[in-house]
Amino acid sequence: MIFGFLLFPDLEELDLVGPWEMVAMWSQYADGPEKCLMIAETKEPVRCSNGMVIQPHVAFEDAPRLDYLLIPGGFGTREQVDNQRLIGFVSEQAKNCKAILSVCTGSFILHACGLLKDKKATTHWLSLEHLRKFKDVEVVEERIVKDGNIWTSSGVSAGMDLALEFIEHEAGDATAGSVQSFAEYYPSGKNYGTFHTDPKAPGYLTRES
C-alpha cells in the first residue's frame, strides 16, 4: 500500500503534517502503508503558506499508483483548482484509490475533480459558505465527514482527528490507539478566547458547548 500526500505552493503546513505524522507512525510502528510519499507537480521545493519549504519525494510524472491520497488545504487551493495538471493527476489517481482524504480547503480541489458530486463534505469554518455555493455538494458542519471513500475534514488541525478516524476505519481501534499514544495526541482541550461559543463557529463546536 502506498499513501500519497499532495504538495502545491501555499498549502497550509499543519493540514499536511498533522495527517502525515499519524499515517507515518501507522506505517512505521503499526503495520500501516509500506510507503508514504509527498508528491508535487515537479521536484522543485514547495513553499508553504507560512514559509516552510518542503522538498517533494516525487513528481506527478514519476508517481506510482496510489492506494490512498491526502490533499491539504491552504490559500494555494484557490489557484490549484484551475491547475489542469494537478486536477488531472488527482482525478486519474482517484480512479484507483481505496480512499481520498482532504483537510480544510483541500475539499475545493476534490470538488474541482468532480469527487464531491452529490456527496456530503466539509471545510474550514471560514470557507463553509463558499463551499455551499456549489449546488452539487451537501455541506455539513462536522469535524470529520466520510461519504463513501471520500473523507473531508474541517480546518487545519482537524487533519489529525481525520487521520486517526481513518486509521481506525482501516486497521481497527487498537491500531489507532497505538498511533495516538506514540503521537501523544491527548490534547488539553483548553479553549482560549470566545470563538468556541461564537455564532460563527462551526456546528460541531457550538453543539457541544
Q: Which of 78, 132, 169, 196 binds its own copies (CB under 8 A)?
A: 196
Binding to its own copies by CB under 8 A, coded x per residue (else -) over 59-98, reads ----------------------------------------
Q: Write out the catalytic residue numbers.
A: 104
Give the DSSP letter string of 50-116.
Answer: TS-EE--SEEGGGPPPPSEEEE--STTHHHHTT-HHHHHHHHHHHTT-SEEEE-TTHHHHHHHTTTT
Count of C-beta atoms within a 10 Å radius of residue 92: 14
Question: Nearest CA to 95 among 115, 77, 70?
Answer: 115
What distance in Å separates the CA atoms of residue 141 and residue 208, rounded to the nearest whole number? 12
Considering the complex, state which of residue 41 and residue 165 has its C-beta at the smaller distance from its own copies: 165
Q: Is 112 in the site for its own copies (CB under 8 A)?
A: no
143 forms part of the interface with its own copies (CB under 8 A): yes
The DSSP symbol for 164 reads H
Q: Name which position in 6, 24, 71, 115 contacts its own copies (CB under 8 A).
A: 24
- Least distance (Å) between residue 91 CB and its own copies: 26
Element (H, E) at 196: none
For binding to its own copies (CB under 8 A), which residues are involved? 12-14, 17-18, 20-21, 24-25, 27-28, 36, 38, 45, 50-55, 57, 104, 124-125, 143-144, 154-158, 160-161, 164-165, 168, 173-196, 201-202, 204-205
